[in-house]
Amino acid sequence: MPKAARKRIRRTFRKKLSNNSDMAEMKSMFREVLPKQGQLSVEDITTMVLCKPKLLPLKSLTLEKLEKMQQAAQNTIRQQEMAEKEQPQINH
């Protein structure tokens, strides 16, 4: 890159920084670096990001509710059957 182009870029960059008060603070934090020769390239390598595993229930909540209701119904039927068996025994 020719010197004139580098100077033009620096001047433009400095003007933009001086226009914004927030950017003025950044100017002091970072030093400008421009390559004097060669090519500038950026390589973006995608990598896998591991996330915290999410545990999924083996049974849905609806299925669990249905199973509880079915179990309760079966228990009620058993109790009624036991009560019916006990009543004839009491009458004898």
User: Into how many domains does the chain fold?
Assistant: 1
Asked if 35 and 1 touch (Cβ cutoff 8 Å), the reply is yes
Is 37 domain-assigned?
Answer: no
The conformation of residue 39, written as its DSSP 8-state character, comes to -
Residue found by looking up tokens 């995608």 in the block = 46
Is 64 domain-assigned?
Answer: yes
Q: What is the C-alpha to C-alpha distance for residues 64 and 48, in angstroms, rounded to an integer?
A: 36
Is 34 domain-assigned?
Answer: no
Per residue in 71-80, pLDDT (tens digit) is 999 999 999 9
Is 24 domain-assigned?
Answer: no
Is 36 domain-assigned?
Answer: no
Tell me which residue range forms the domain holding 65: 59-85
Q: What angle do CA 76, 79, 83 make, to 5 degrees?
A: 140
Per residue in 26-52, pLDDT (tens digit) is 666 777 777 778 776 677 788 888 888
**Alpha helices per DSSP H over the chain:** 3-19, 21-29, 61-91
